[in-house]
Amino acid sequence: MLDALSDRLQTTFKRLGSRGKITEEDLDVALREVRVALLEADVNFKVVRDFIGRVRERALGADVTQSVTPGQQIVSIVNQELVEVLGGDSEPLRTASSGPTKILVCGIKGSGKTTLCGRLAQRLKRDGMKPMLVSTDFERLAATEQLQVLGRQIDVPVYFEEREAPAAEVGKRALKEAERLGVNAIIVDTRGGVALDDALADELAALADEIDPIEVLIVVDAMTGQEAVTLAKEFDEAIEGTGIVVTKLDSDTRGGAVLSVREVTGLPVKFITTGERLEALEDFHPDRFASRVLGMGDIVSLVERAQQTMGERNVEDVARRMKTGQFDLEDFLQQLDQLRQMGPLSGMLDMIPGMAQLKDKAQIADMNEAFLNKSEAIIQSMTIEERRNPDLLNGSRRRRIAGGSGTTPADVNRLLNQYREAKKLMQAMAGGKGGGLRRMLGF
C-alpha cells in the first residue's frame, strides 16, 4: 500500500538525514522531491501546494537548538503535517446514545458499499451490538442476493423487498422490522449508479430524511484516484456525509485519495479497507497512517521523545549558557538527567548532532546507566558553589565528595574530565559551522 510514495519520501529524507546543518537550499530541494512524490501518488495539487507551504514555513521557523539533526526534524515536521492533512485525531464510528444506531452507506457502483455493509455488521456484532442489514438497491438483483449471502455468513438478519419500491419507503418499513426484531443497529445499503446524477441524489436524500441516520458514510474506491475525491465531494454536497470510507487500498493504488479527501471535503476518513475478505476493514488513524506513508516511525518517535524530555526553554537556556561558556556542573547534572529520561543511551547518542561520528572518539561513549548513576551521586554530593564553580574542586574537596557519594577520588576525577569534554564539545557545537568540533577531535 502506497509503497511508491513511501519509498520516494524515504530516499529523499535519507539524503538529508546525516547532515548536521540544512540550508534553505537543501530544504527546497527536499521539498521539491516531496512535492513530486505526492503529485505522483495522485494527491490533489492544491492539497500538495498547501502542504508543502506549511512544512516549509515550519521547517524554517524551527528552533535549531533542538537535540536532533535538522534532517530528522524535517521528517518530524512532514509527519506532523501529514497527520494534520489526514484529519488529526481519529474519529471512530458514532453510535446512538438512545434508539438504534442507523448507518447509511452510499457511493457509486462498484465502490465497495455492499461489502462494507457486511463488514460493519460484523464489526458491530463483534462489539456486542445486534445489527440488521437493509437492502434498498433494486438496480441489480444480485445486489440484494449479495447482501443476503453476507448476512448468512455473519449470521445477521437482512431486510429486503421482492418488489421494487422507492428507497425511502423500503427504509421506513425496514425501521419497523428492526423494532420488531429488537436490533440496535441498522446498516442501510443503497443503489450506486455509475455517477451521482439528480435521480440518485434525490433518492438518497429522501432515504436519509426517512431514516435519519447518525452516520452517512461515503464510500470511495482508492483505485480511481482524484475521481474518488471529486465524487466524495459531490456526495457530501448532495446528502451531507459524516465520514468517508476509502476502499481497495490493498490494490496497487497510489493512495492520493486518502491523502486528499479529508482536506477537500472536510469529512473525516473513518475506515479504510484493504482486501476482499470481510475482515479487511481497518479503523483509520491519521497518525498511524502517516507513519506508514513515511515509513520512518523510528525517527519520528525519537524526535517526539526528545521534544517531550527537553522542554523548549530548557534547551534554549542550556544553548545560551554553552555559548557564553557558562556551562557548569549543574547544567551537566541536568543534561545527565535528561539523557536518562530519554532512554537507552546508545540510541540517543546518534540523535545528538555530531555524536554519531563522535562515538568512538570521545569518552562520552562510556556514558552508560551505571555511569549516569555514579555521576549524579557525585554531583549531588557537591555544594551548590562547587557545582557552579568546578575550579574550586581541589584534592581535599574531591576526597570529601568521593566519601559522600560512595565513590573513589578517581571516579570524581573521571567525572570532572567528562564534564570538561562535554563543555568543550558544547562550546564547539555552539560555535557554529562544526569546523571547530572537527578540529578539536582531529578529523
Here's the x/- map for Mg ion, 193-232, by CB under 5 A: it reads as ----------------------------------------
Q: Which is nearer to Mg ion, 117 or 430 (CB)?
A: 117
Stretch of 77-85, 138-146, 226-234, 263-271 contacting Mg ion, by CB under 5 A: 138-146
Q: Which is nearer to Mg ion, 20 or 110 (CB)?
A: 110
CB of 145 to ligand GDP, least distance (A): 11
Residues that bind ligand GDP (CB under 6 A): 107, 109-115, 192, 247-248, 250-251, 273-276, 280
Stretch of 107-115, 255-263, 300-308, 380-388 contacting Mg ion, by CB under 5 A: 107-115
CB of 146 to Mg ion, least distance (A): 6
Instruction: Tell me which residue of 76, 77, 65, 68 sits closest to 315, measured CA to CA.
Output: 65
| Residue selected from 82, 108, 143, 355 as contacting Mg ion according to rule CB under 5 A | 143
By a kind-dependent CB cut-off of 5 to 8 A, residue 230 interacts, out of ligand GDP, Mg ion, none, with none
Q: Which is nearer to Mg ion, 104 or 336 (CB)?
A: 104
| Residue selected from 6, 73, 101, 114 as contacting Mg ion according to rule CB under 5 A | 114
Task: Confirm or reject binding of residue 116 to Mg ion (CB under 5 A).
Answer: no
By a kind-dependent CB cut-off of 5 to 8 A, residue 247 interacts, out of ligand GDP, Mg ion, none, with ligand GDP
Q: Which is nearer to ligand GDP, 181 or 195 (CB)?
A: 195
3-class secondary structure for 59-82?
A: HHHCCCCCCCCHHHHHHHHHHHHH
Task: Confirm or reject binding of residue 355 to Mg ion (CB under 5 A).
Answer: no
